[in-house]
Amino acid sequence: MSCIDPERTARVLVIGGGIAGQAVCEHLGGRARQITLVCGEPHLPYDRVNLGRLLSQPSPAVLGDLLLRPQTWYADRGIDVRLGTWIEQLDPDGGTATTHTGEQLGFDYAVLCTGSVPLVPPLGNVDAAGVHVFRDPADCEQILEDAARARHAAVIGGGLLGLEAAFALASMSVPTTVVHLMDRLMERQLDAAGAALLAPAMEELGVEVLLEHRTDGLIPGPDGRVRGLKFAGGTRLDCDLVVIAVGIRPNIELARRIGLSIKRGVVVDDRLVTSRENVLAVGECAEHRGVVHGIVAPIREQAAIAARTIAGDPACYEGSTPSAKLKVMGVELFAAGEPESEHAVAVRNAETGSYRKLIVRDGRAAGTILLGDTRGSDLLLDAIRRAAAVEDPLQLLAEASQSSAGDLPDAARVCNCNGVCKGAIVDAIRTGGLGSTQEVVAVTRAGAGCGSCKPLVAELLSIERAGASEEPAYLCPCRKLTREQLAGVVRAHDLDSVSAIGAECGAGRECGACKPGLAYLVSEIRGNRHREERHARFINDRVHANIQNDGTFSVVPRMRGGVTSADELRRIADVVDKYEIPMVKVTGGQRIDLLGVRKEQLPAIWEELGMSSGHAYAKAVRTVKTCVGTDFCRFGLGNSIQLGVELEAAMEGLYTPHKVKSAVTGCPRNCAEAYVKDIGLVAVEGGWEVYVGGAAGSTVRKGDLLTVVSSAKAAKRVALAFLQHYRENAEYLERTYGYLERVGIEAVREAVLGEGQAELLERYRIAKAAADPDPWRERHAPATPKQFEELDTEAMIIGPPVGAAR
Amino acid sequence: MSALVAASTTWLRVGRVDDVPYLEGRSVHIGERRVAIFRLPDGWAAIDHACPHKAGPLADGMVADQCVTCPLHGQRFSLLTGERQDADGVGVRTYEVRERDGYLELCLEA
Ligand code: SRM
Ligand SMILES: Cc1cc2nc3c(=O)[nH]c(=O)nc-3n(C[C@H](O)[C@H](O)[C@H](O)COP(=O)(O)OP(=O)(O)OC[C@H]3O[C@@H](n4cnc5c(N)ncnc54)[C@H](O)[C@@H]3O)c2cc1C
Ligand code: SF4
Ligand code: FES
């Protein structure tokens, strides 16, 4: 029946970077020659389901936490992602789309994933300041801002979305009222009895519920900001923050412009194809057999079918069972399928306030409502999905409340977001020998969507592991050996190299990924008096430069404390000219980067620079940034340049579990950003503060104040003791911020400031004495043959091959 | 140089055995082609130098007993068969390589 020609499967244009657009990319996998993903919003696809986390107090999530996939995922798959780009026009015949900037994008198939827009009723003054919808990160930002000074908030709409918004506001300590038109909350998912229990549960969380209130208009204040709501019947509610959550409307603007068949959404057939053969639609914008879905699970199912349609591997989408879980802490609510029918049984427990109902139609499971006690929701959802025959509904309800993950049938779907069944998870655990939830999520993708099934995944894992606790972080995952176990092996047999560890216990021999970690481990334990093996080091550490995306390298000379001289700058300039280096750049670490250098040029460049390695490529001490301090600054309280230069000299050349960056700043204005460094020293009246575990990279964290000391010398001593403590105790690739989060500042204080300090400093001195302060000296004495070169390029022919006619 | 690779099975001397350290790789240009040669615990292996993903330099990769990991984005290939090992995907070509009189010889089938 398909008239889509698989031969043409080539360029796919995905319009809209929501959950639908991302799911389509995910399912297309390698089946398209080229994928272009056009995102109207200026962000990579994120998890809208968990948008509320951007509001959750005390520490709201940031958008980065919600991204469905990191940027590298798209890059790795060659997906051309256009952020902040709108498709204005589409020509299915010509196979071109026009963006808002007028750019033309070619396609063989276009997939509309344009989602929906919040429904805003035509009330008087809805555009007053302080009135918001709840749909994207920008809305959250504004709600957060207004909530900070709001005295009373109103949420219009008592559905799932409205309740989540109200809960978020209430947990920001803003008195909140939900205003609902109907006589019960969540009328689409709940029956009257369930809804009757939900309202008091919300009130207990500090959310007032006003039912059967029709909002007639908003009342603006003299400053243009909302001051209240006006209801039909004349009553009012004072409020200075309003969130409108009355529903959504499929975004069909583009579809309409190109004349696709539209009812409520863009009409699609069972292949997800619209009225034009090479245009598909998936997600909240699509209408299939008269249904427009507004939740994620069906969207993912549609995306899978759409990808198959495009790949010429036709499949049939037969619709999905709607289900909903309320993400309001303290109120457990799960509903699926139909809320009501003639045949239903319900169990109510007045004491615990729980309500469990199973709806049966023609002898088959058709719906469920679980409030206050959602045990067994997976089992019931599975029965509803299969329309399982139910002889005794009460018995099934009772079974469900006793069920554990182990009772689920293999075909039961555990992860609704990614459509992963129990069988697949158990299979992956068994065949892959998986030992931690994190691993199971990574391998199966179950739990990688909204995350609500993660507890179930963990339960399945624990059943498979017969109750044994989860596995720890392995330094060598192939052999399942932790850092501590491996350190034990090194000490017990007095091993001096990665090869010796491999020979002893097999670590590092299978995939090789842990070899750099093993190399660090053995060097650390032996105070840098180990046998150095270059094959155990990442390419960066073999040639002492950072590899770039085109296979060239970068050169960052050491510039202690960010201080340089005319002489150095002149030599750098000469090198750049002579070697025609494509880019010279001042780095974020207060030094200079020469980018785009070929491997074989490295030794000569190092020679002519006459500077030492800045270790910008290594898991090692990187930089110590400084500000101008007392020498020049009118506010300076400490000589930050001097201390920074000294500290860098004392730490440089030391390899560490992950990179270590430091800063010394002359006063709490913090111009060198010491609060957010692995080690940060801040001059204060009468001494120095020492901060550790700060970060301002992918994670932002203010360092913990380790101690305050009275002299620069003492500050340096504490910093070095902490460095050694971190070197000895952190997991490989664990930054100080992760380490401090894990063990806590108290434990670090005890280790670094307590009696052990002298010993830490002694071990630091031993390691430092044996460390190579400047690996760039290998330009004179290469560590391996052809360290910076290829083999002979003059290949030579060896006689005519046997039997070859030449 | 391209005349050399035109013959059907030709062994080419590509460099000295001593120039490829234990469990490391070195690359060699042969006409248009770039081949990466590795010294393994029990012998030699040669594959295309350019990673099929984004042409990462595989000779610079991390080598374990029988596989190499691309230094750019971590795809892993068997050094024996050239197959991708960490997931499904395009593999690399393998070549025969042998040791003669202190030199490495590579067999190129055109
Ligand atoms: C060159 C530089 C950018 C610049 O032009 O300014 C840079 C470049 C890279 N950074 Fe950075 N970072 C640079 C300063 C920073 C800073 C700012 C700073 O040092 O004050 C940060 C935030 C501070 C921090 O580290 O927490 C920073 C946080 C990161 C991160 C995130 C680390 C984290 O755990 O949050 C990575 C990724 C990683 O390490 O896994 C990273 C990784 C990288 C890598 C090495 C990516 C890679 O593996 O290839 C980049 C190398 C590019 C290349 O091709 O050479 N870079 N990077 C900066 C070199 C500073 C220097 O002089 O050594
Ligand atoms: C606060 C909140 C909580 C939720 N909770 C749940 C829940 O618990 N469970 C659940 O299953 N669902 C939940 N949902 C619903 C779920 O988030 C949506 O069903 C889902 O995100 C819709 O995905 P989509 O990709 O179809 O649409 P959207 O997410 O709307 O994505 C469409 C994207 O396309 C872009 N776009 C539109 N037109 C164009 C164009 N012409 N060119 C380029 N780009 C364009 C838009 O900017 C948008 O980014 C919740 C929603 C919200 C807001
Ligand atoms: S230099 Fe740093 S921030 Fe810039 S692209 Fe590379 S890793 Fe990302
Ligand atoms: S270039 Fe090899 S993994 Fe990306």
Which residues 11-50 of chain B have a CB within 8 Å of chain A? 11-16, 18-24, 26-30, 37
Cβ–Cβ gap B67/A511 under 8 Å? yes
The DSSP H or E segment spanning A648 is: helix A640-651
Is the pTM value of this prediction over 0.95?
A: no
Cβ–Cβ gap B71/A539 under 8 Å? yes
Amino acid at position A728, single letter: E
Cβ–Cβ gap A534/B21 under 8 Å? yes
Q: Output the residue whose Cα is nearest ligand 2's atom 29.
A: A18
Mutate to test the interface with B, among A537, A791, A797 (most CBs of B within 10 A): A791
Within 8 A of A539 by CB-CB distance, chain B residues are 57, 60-62, 71
Mutate to test the interface with B, among A535, A544, A546, A549 (most CBs of B within 10 A): A535
- How distant, in Å, are the alpha carbons of A120, A532, A600, B47 from that of A795? 73, 31, 19, 16
pLDDT for position A792: 66
- C-beta of A333 in contact with ligand 2 (< 6 A): no
Ligand 4: residues whose CB is within 6 Å? Answer: B 51, 53-56, 70, 72-75
- C-beta of A554 in contact with ligand 1 (< 6 A): yes
Picking from A445, A484, A447, the residue whose alpha carbon sits closest to that of residue A732 is A484
- Ligand 3 centre to CA of B54 (Å) is 18
Q: How many CA atoms lie within 13 A of A638 on its CB side?
A: 30
- Ligand 1 centre to CA of A568 (Å) is 23
Count CB-CB contacts under 10 A for residue A228. Answer: 18
> Which string of DSSP letters, residue by residue, matches B51-104?
-TTT--BGGGSEE-SSEEE-TTT--EEETTT--B-SSSS----EEEEEEETTEE
Contact A316, A270 (CB under 8 A): yes
Which residues 78-97 of chain B have a CB within 8 Å of chain A? 85-86, 88-89
pLDDT for position B4: 46
Rounded CA-CA distance A544/A503 in Å is: 27
pLDDT for position A798: 60
Within 8 A of A802 by CB-CB distance, chain B residues are 9
Rounded CA-CA distance A286/A260 in Å is: 11
Rounded CA-CA distance A738/A730 in Å is: 9
- Ligand 4 centre to CA of A71 (Å) is 15
Pocket probe mutation, ligand 1, options A593, A622, A664, A726, max atoms within 8 Å of Cβ? A593
Within 8 A of A30 by CB-CB distance, chain B residues are 88-89
Mutate to test the interface with B, among A76, A498, A554, A792 (most CBs of B within 10 A): A792
B69 touches chain A (CB under 8 A): yes
pLDDT for position A65: 82
For A469-482, b/e burial (b = at least 16 CB within 10 A) is: eebeebbbbbbebe
Q: At what angle do helices A602-609 and A566-578 cross, to 10 degrees?
A: 150
Picking from A606, A515, A600, the residue whose alpha carbon sits closest to that of residue A557 is A606
Bridge partner list, B34? B29
DSSP collapsed to 3 states, A752-763: HHCCCHHHHHHH
pLDDT averaged per 10 residues in sequence order, chain A, 806 residues: 50 97 91 93 94 83 86 89 96 96 95 96 92 96 94 95 94 94 92 90 92 94 94 93 96 96 96 96 96 91 94 90 83 88 81 85 92 86 90 84 76 78 89 80 75 79 73 80 92 95 94 93 94 95 94 96 97 97 96 96 96 97 96 93 97 96 96 97 96 91 96 97 97 91 92 95 95 94 92 61 39
Bridge partner list, A796? B13
- How distant, in Å, are the alpha carbons of A196, A578, A611 from that of A556? 67, 17, 10
Cβ–Cβ gap B72/A539 under 8 Å? no
Cβ–Cβ gap B73/A511 under 8 Å? no
- Expressed in angstroms, the distance from the first to the final Cα of chain A is 55
Domains of chain B: 11-109 (2.102.10.10)
pLDDT in tens, chain B (110 residues): 344 444 457 888 999 999 999 999 999 988 888 999 999 998 999 999 999 988 999 999 999 999 999 998 888 899 999 998 876 678 999 999 999 999 999 987 75
Question: Model confidence over A609-666: pLDDT tens digits?
Answer: 999 999 999 999 999 999 999 989 999 999 999 999 999 999 999 999 999 999 999 9
Cβ–Cβ gap A792/B57 under 8 Å? no
Rounded CA-CA distance A112/A268 in Å is: 11
pLDDT for position A161: 93
DSSP collapsed to 3 states, A78-138: CCEEECCCCEEEEECCCCEEEECCCCEEECCEEEECCCEEECCCCCECCCCECEEECCCHH
Dihedral sign computed on CA atoms, order A233, A237, A238, A240: negative
Picking from A783, A654, A669, A797, the residue whose alpha carbon sits closest to that of residue A724 is A654
- C-beta of A116 in contact with ligand 2 (< 6 A): yes
